[in-house]
């Protein structure tokens, strides 16, 4: 059994989408980041970086319990455990991992800054809005070009790279992005959003 420590955010949703897609049984433990649950001693023991998501799998690779934090590492862990959504062919595997890393190192951090400066900053910071807004647009263009001839992000199939990127693109309204500007991303977004496992995973943990 897998214990999932998460909240309904883009990084949390990547992992709940993956768990549902892979059909892995799990128990969700809400970590309300609005009330600072991520700083509790219990959660800090799981993730010293004090950010959701984290998982504990009582049946790790060696049969012993294992805990994993960082959503990208968790996605790789779950894909390897289930045998789904990370291709076994090495070329396809690296193609998937490079797009996953672009999400982890680029899309997530940049879109996160856009969300912060557009929605949460105590005062408008024009330079930050321009810098992160431009980089956000550039990343949408990278995705749009990638999806011209590709139904999915990597390896010609639905993978953990799609699961990682989807919840960030799903926040396009927070970024003041009109998906019609990026027609290939729009098509991809609609396609992924229609998956029943994605709809379910997006709602984990249920809001109080």
Pairwise CA distance, residues 197 & 23, whole Å: 9
The verdict on 175 binding ligand GSH (CB under 6 A) reads: no
Beta 26-30 vs 66-69: how paired, if at all? unpaired
Select 42 or 190, whichever has its Cβ closest to ligand GSH.
42
**Alpha-carbon span 63 to 90, nearest angstrom:** 26
103 in contact with ligand GSH (CB under 6 A): no
The residues near 42 (Cβ < 8 Å, ≥ 6 apart) are: none
What is the signed CA dihedral for 76, 80, 82, 87, rounded to 10 degrees? 90
- Determine if 71 is a binding residue for ligand GSH (CB under 6 A): yes
Among 3, 37, 70, 92, binds ligand GSH (CB under 6 A): 70
Does position 52 bind ligand GSH by CB under 6 A? Answer: yes
- Which residue number, 38 or 113, has a Cβ lying nearer to ligand GSH? 38
Q: What is the DSSP letter of 154?
A: B
Q: How far is the CB of 149 from ligand GSH (least distance, A)?
A: 29
Q: Where does this chain touch ligand GSH (CB under 6 A) — which range of 6-14, 21-29, 119-127, 145-153?
A: 6-14
Sign of CA dihedral 175, 178, 182, 186: positive
Tell me if 10 contacts ligand GSH by CB under 6 A.
yes
- Select from 46-54, 84-92, 135-143, 172-180 the region that touches ligand GSH (CB under 6 A): 46-54
Alpha-carbon dihedral sign for residues 64, 70, 74, 76: negative
Give the binding site for ligand GSH (CB under 6 A).
9-11, 33, 38, 51-53, 70-71, 108
């Amino acid at each position: 059994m897998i214990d999932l420590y998460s909240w309904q955010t883009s990084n949390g949703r990547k992992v709940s989408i993956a768990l549902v897609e892979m059909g892995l049984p799990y128990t969700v433990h809400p970590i309300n980041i609005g009330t600072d649950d991520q700083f509790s001693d219990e959660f800090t023991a799981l993730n010293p970086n004090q950010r959701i998501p984290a998982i504990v799998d009582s049946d790790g690779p060696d049969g012993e319990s294992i805990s994993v934090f960082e959503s990208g590492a968790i996605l790789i862990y779950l894909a390897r455990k289930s045998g789904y959504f990370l291709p076994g062919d090495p070329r396809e595997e690296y193609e998937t991992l490079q797009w996953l890393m672009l999400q982890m190192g680029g899309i997530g951090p940049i879109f996160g800054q856009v969300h912060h400066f557009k929605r949460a900053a105590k005062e408008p910071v024009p330079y930050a809005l321009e810098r992160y807004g431009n980089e956000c647009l550039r990343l949408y263009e990278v995705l749009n070009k990638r999806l011209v001839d590709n139904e999915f992000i990597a390896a010609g199939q639905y993978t953990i790279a799609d699961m990682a990127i989807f919840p960030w693109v799903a926040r396009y309204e927070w970024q003041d992005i009109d998906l019609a500007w990026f027609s290939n991303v729009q098509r991809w977004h609609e396609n992924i959003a229609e998956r029943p496992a994605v709809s379910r995973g997006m709602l984990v943990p249920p809001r109080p």
